[in-house]
Amino acid sequence: MADHHEHAQARDWRKSMSDNVALALIVYTGLQIFMTVNALKAGFSSILPYIALVFLVGGIIP
């Protein structure tokens, strides 16, 4: 019975870590989108911000 209790604690730790990583990725993606939009409004005529945004979103969504 003690093994079951220890296993449950390890699972909770992993889930909370996973939740923290997911939240950090969401915040990072939001900041990246905000910075890209501001860079485009500032007059950067390069396609680089769009490419960076596509790679970031494509890397996080799956």
Q: For residue 59, tell me if it sits in a domain.
A: yes
pLDDT value for 62: 61
Domain with 45 in it: 22-62
Residues contacting residue 29 through CB under 8 Å, at least 6 positions apart: 56, 57, 60
Residues contacting residue 60 through CB under 8 Å, at least 6 positions apart: 25, 28, 29
Q: For residue 54, tell me if it sits in a domain.
A: yes
Summarised one tens digit per residue, pLDDT across range 14-52 is 777 888 888 888 888 888 888 878 877 777 667 777 787
pLDDT value for 33: 81
Q: For residue 5, tell me if it sits in a domain.
A: no
Q: For residue 62, tell me if it sits in a domain.
A: yes
> What are the start-end ranges of the E strands in the chain?
none
Number of domains comprising the chain: 1
Q: For residue 35, tell me if it sits in a domain.
A: yes
The phi and psi torsions of 46 (rounded to 5 degrees) equal: -80, 155
